[in-house]
Every structure is written in structure tokens, then in C-alpha cells.
Amino acid sequence: MGDVLYQKTGLTVSHLAQDLMSRIIGERIPSISEYEERFSVSRGTVQNSLGYLKEQGAVKLKSRGHSGTYIEMLDYQKLQKCSLIKDLLGSMPLPYSRSYQGLATALYEALSPFSMNLVYSRGSESRLRLVTEGVCQFTACSKYAANRAIEHGEPIEIAVDLGPESYLSRHVLVLRDPEAHGIMPGMRVAYDRTSLDQRQITERITQGIKDIQFVDLRAHQTVNAIRDNSIDAGIWNMDEIIESGYEALHVVALDKNVYTEDFSSAVLVIRKEEEALHQLLRRYVDPERIKQIQNSVRSGTRVADY
């Protein structure tokens, strides 16, 4: 494509390619006039850009007169090469549980028409920074973490809400004392500063209780710390407890006044005003299909592939 990417026509080619990446065969595309207004370019620039995409074999269109223009063929790989989005790059938590393995498997399947990769890292706040800084186009985190970041003015938005139990089934309180029913004064409580969700839930359940000793600890170390008497209580992921054979632990469900479905719901977050990416994710990432794949990986009827 040469220097055209640095010219107005090249940018319009990229915008059109991104728009078409979010569409399917048989769909009616916007009119030339609509594209003119959307991209703030001339009619000729839109026509030349569409012509370029046709020449590259990225799209085949058919005019139906007054009914509009419809898509007959799309080559998503070629569209992606013609756009400035050379590779979709997302991030999500480390796939230590079957829920996360299922989520990764489902995202790869959903976005298989495109060149896409996932990076794995701890902490929703660090993953959200990857999005705001433009390192990743999207990230998966809890709905709670996303909404909190939005409330604090981060330039992000939720593109897809995958619904309750798509992030994890639930958090629970793990207690060392089998006779305990909850957090008591003087307890040593795990506190993971790198995990927004664990941190917020911990602060909620300990609010107003005297003499609490917070112990800096990664959330995934909670069970071992309980067993070696380093802490008395901690918040952890019920999925991991079950999958690791820790059912004998003393586990207490969290009250609804401190725990909501937003903690268990996964969302895909993007930067604000990334309309083409927003439409692409909404088009291809179907929450029901994601849950089906997650559940099949959780149950062991499907091998995780990510």
C-alpha cells in the first residue's frame, strides 16, 4: 500500500476496513454519503477507498439499487491487513482456573476470523492501563473493576458484558477456624494490593471490625497461608478451591450487601470512541456462546485451547 497510509485515502481505507471487519456477508453497508459524514472525507475518497479494498480481494459488494449495497464476500484477514489494526491484542487474567481457561478458549474461537492474541497478567488495574495506554485493544476484567475505573474518569467503556459467573462463579471467605462464622476482631486477614476485586471485598467484610491485621499476600496464596497458620481469613475464588480439591476448607458465603454479581461478571473493555472495535467485539463475541464454551471446559467435556 506504500505511502497511501499516510494520506487521507489511506486513512479512509483503514477506517472502512475496520468498519467492514465488524460486518457479515449479506449485510447492507452504509451509503457513500453516510461514510462521507462519518469519516469527514469527500465522496471520491470513499469511492476510491472502497475500490482499493475490492482490488485487494478484501470485500465484494453488490448494489441493489434503491435498496442499497450489500456484502457478497468478506476476507477478514485481508481487511485486517488493510486496516491500522494489524493484530488484535487483548489481555485477561492468568488462566489458572478452568473458568479462565474456558474464557480464553472462547475468545480465541469467537475472534478466529481475525489475527488475535491474548496476553495474561495479574491485576485488573494493570490490564486496564494496557488499554488506556494503547498497548492492548481490549481487556477482560470484572464488571466491578470496569465500572469503578469509569467512575474514576478513565477513558474506557464496556464493549461486551458476558454476564454473571463468566469471570468466576463467586468469591468466598476462607476461614482457618472451622468454628468461625465470619471475620472476628484480631484476625489476620489476607490483603492483595494487586487485586482490586479481592481488595475491595476484603475492605467491605472487615469494615468496622476492630484490631484487624492485614497481611500482604497474593490472593492465590490464600489457601496455603491458611494451612500454615500465616493468616486466619482470606477472600478467594471458589472455582479454584473446587478444582484444586480444597473442599475440606472452611468456606463461608459472602452476604449480598458486600458481594454483587458485578464481581463475578466478565466484561470486555476498550478505549472510548473506538467505535469500529466496539462493533466488531459486539458482533463476534456472543455472551451465550462464550458461556457454553466456558461450561464445557469447566466440565471437562472440551479441552482448553488458548
CA distance 113 to 118: 15
Q: Are residues 151 and 210 in the same domain?
A: no
Q: Is residue 75 part of a domain?
A: yes
Closest C-alpha among 262, 256, 254, 237 to residue 151: 262
pLDDT at 154: 97
pLDDT at 4: 46
pTM for the model: 0.80
CA distance 214 to 260: 23
Q: What is the CATH number of the domain that holds 278?
A: 3.40.190.10
pLDDT at 157: 98
Residue 54: give the domain boundaries. Answer: 2-82
Q: Are residues 125 and 271 in the same domain?
A: yes
Q: Are residues 97 and 235 in the same domain?
A: no
Residue 169 · residue 238 · CB < 8 Å: yes
**pLDDT tens string 178-195:** 999 999 999 999 999 989
Closest C-alpha among 82, 104, 74, 59 to residue 1: 82
Q: Are residues 217 and 246 in the same domain?
A: yes
DSSP classification of residue 35: H
Q: Is residue 306 part of a domain?
A: no
Q: Is residue 305 part of a domain?
A: no
Q: Is residue 290 part of a domain?
A: yes
Closest C-alpha among 194, 265, 191, 186 to residue 235: 191
Q: Are residues 211 and 149 in the same domain?
A: no
CA distance 105 to 28: 31
pLDDT at 5: 43
pLDDT at 1: 47
Q: Are residues 76 and 201 in the same domain?
A: no
Counting the structural domains of the chain, the total is: 3
pLDDT at 86: 67
Q: Are residues 235 and 100 in the same domain?
A: no
Q: Are residues 109 and 130 in the same domain?
A: yes
Q: What is the CATH number of the domain that holds 40?
A: 1.10.10.10
pLDDT at 242: 84
Q: Which of 28, 63, 82 is the last residue of a domain?
A: 82
Q: Is residue 292 part of a domain?
A: yes
pLDDT at 7: 64
Q: Is residue 304 part of a domain?
A: no
Q: Are residues 178 and 253 in the same domain?
A: yes
Q: Is residue 144 part of a domain?
A: yes
Which residues of the chain are under the pLDDT cut of 50? 1-2, 4-6
Q: Which of 243, 258, 273 is the last residue of a domain?
A: 258
